């Protein structure tokens, strides 16, 4: 059974990695997508907003589906759909075609994100120690690779189709093979048989707010770092491409070692420290006299923000051990809420006030996380709280048994 856990962990980590690659390939080639389909600047925000909205719908749908279908099966079939939808973005040439494939991408991404984190939470419970950050580290690594492949495609002036086709050809069969070793946990078995307790939204709300604030911070970096370095800090066009890469690399490093911190000091301490470091990062960015000091701020942001999202999913699993799949699906919706709110909020404040001042808003929101840090306490189920319980092999069935 230990081998089952190890294979399940490796295959799920690969699923996170593939999702990081696919999402980065989509969002980093938006200018090429706009040119290919002739999407106007006025219409583009509508398309971009539709993806997270439909992803939220996909997450809600997943909460209902897991009552009858195990998360491993949902993940097994939603990930290939995401990859095929990515390929579809590069294959069409009509705006209507783009709308359809982005709609499919959004719905399947919502299902994929929810089911993927459900499996991560249940595997962490089975291991009896913090491993959730390692899955999100794999996602960050995939994001770095995807962004690098997108840069190569843009540099070589490849069409979207030629950029995406080799990636999908390699990753699609790989995820189908890897999905054979997904492992469902006891929460999935309970929800499948109806033996679950309800999810009290009042108890989940603090985690929903933390998730929203974390993604507001993340979307601020991903959408505004380049413009901020160039227009506010006076950096060059080339230097403006660096801060997001710095952020991604420090996010990867932080997540790669973050589980060790959770095991040693507990989730509450790690979340509080992460929020404080991220808030300091926003302050440094806001007061930076030049681009290189700004880079220090984006480095701190990567180190601080990287722990919040994985630990929020893990906390939901601990808070509702008999209904963790439903809790994760609901919590995942606020991933997309933060993504939708963050970029327009900073942009509007930057235009109306100043971009330096706008950076203080996500700083204040991230600081609120410290108030809700006690929601990350492990309570009676002590794994991941500095008092980890012994490993257990109560992991339900692997996806082969479905």
Condensed to tens digits (0 to 9), the pLDDT of residues 354-391 reads 999 999 999 999 999 999 999 998 754 444 444 444 44
Q: How far is CA 291 from CA 130, 233, 240, in A?
A: 36, 5, 9
Look up the domain containing 232 and give its range: 199-386
Do 377 and 252 belong to one domain?
yes
> The domain that contains 162 carries what CATH number?
1.20.1250.20
Query: Would you say 117 and 313 are in contact if contact means Cβ atoms under 8 Å apart?
Result: yes
Q: Which two tokens stand for residue 51?
A: 């993806």
In a domain, 8, yes or no: yes
Can you tell me the mean pLDDT for 81-89? 96
Q: What is the pLDDT of residue 288?
A: 97
Do 162 and 238 belong to one domain?
no
In a domain, 397, yes or no: no
Query: What is the Cα–Cα distance from 50 to 21, expressed in whole angstroms?
Result: 21
Structural domains of the chain, count: 2
Global confidence as pTM: 0.89
pLDDT at residue 194 is higher than 80: no
Final residue belonging to a domain, choices 131, 162, 195: 195
pLDDT digits (tens, 9 = 90+) for 168-178: 999 999 999 99
User: Coil, helix or strand for 183?
Assistant: strand
pLDDT band at 324 (very low <50, low <70, confident <90, very high): very high
Do 169 and 267 belong to one domain?
no
Final residue belonging to a domain, choices 195, 224, 256: 195
Ramachandran region, residue 384 (left: φ > 0; alpha: ψ -120 to 50; beta: rest): left
Q: Which residue has the higher pLDDT, 141 or 387?
A: 141
DSSP 401: G
Within 13 Å and on the Cβ side, how many CA atoms surround 138?
18
């Amino acid at each position: 059974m230990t081998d089952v856990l190890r294979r399940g962990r490796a295959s799920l980590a690969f699923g996170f990695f593939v999702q990081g690659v696919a999402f980065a390939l989509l969002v980093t080639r938006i200018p090429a997508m706009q040119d290919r389909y002739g999407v106007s600047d006025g219409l583009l925000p509508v398309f971009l907003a539709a993806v997270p909205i439909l992803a939220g719908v996909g997450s809600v749908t997943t909460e209902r589906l897991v009552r009858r279908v195990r998360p491993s099966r949902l993940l097994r079939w939603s990930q290939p759909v995401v990859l095929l939808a990515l390929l579809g973005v590069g294959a069409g040439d009509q705006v209507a075609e783009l709308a359809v494939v982005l709609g499919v991408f959004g719905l399947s991404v919502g299902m994929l994100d929810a089911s993927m984190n459900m499996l991560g939470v249940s595997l962490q419970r089975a291991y009896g120690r913090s491993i959730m950050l390692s899955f999100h580290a794999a996602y960050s690594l995939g994001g770095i690779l995807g962004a690098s492949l997108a840069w190569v495609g843009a540099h070589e002036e490849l069409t979207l189709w030629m950029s995406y086709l080799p990636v999908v050809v390699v990753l699609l069969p790989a995820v189908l093979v890897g999905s054979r070793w997904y492992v469902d946990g006891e929460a999935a078995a309970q929800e499948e048989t109806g033996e679950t307790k309800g999810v009290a939204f009042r108890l989940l709300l603090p985690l929903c707010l933390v998730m929203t604030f974390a993604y507001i911070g993340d979307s601020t970096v991903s959408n505004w770092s380049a413009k901020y370095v160039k227009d506010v800090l006076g950096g060059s066009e080339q230097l403006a491409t660096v801060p997001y890469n710095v952020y991604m690399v420090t996010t990867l490093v932080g997540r790669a070692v973050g589980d060790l911190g959770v095991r040693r000091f507990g989730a509450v301490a790690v979340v509080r420290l992460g929020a404080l470091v991220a808030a300091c990062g926003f302050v440094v960015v806001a007061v930076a006299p030049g681009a290189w000091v700004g880079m220090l701020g984006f480095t701190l942001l990567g180190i601080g923000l990287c722990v919040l999202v994985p630990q929020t999913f893990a906390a939901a699993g601990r808070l509702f051990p008999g209904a963790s799949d439903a809790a994760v699906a609901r919590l995942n919706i606020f991933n997309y809420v933060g993504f939708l709110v963050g970029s327009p909020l900073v942009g509007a404040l930057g235009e109306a006030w100043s971009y330096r001042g706008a950076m203080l808003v996500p700083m204040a929101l991230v600081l609120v996380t410290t108030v809700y840090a006690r929601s990350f306490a492990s309570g009676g189920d002590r794994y991941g709280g500095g008092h980890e319980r012994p490993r257990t092999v109560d992991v339900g069935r692997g996806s082969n048994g479905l």
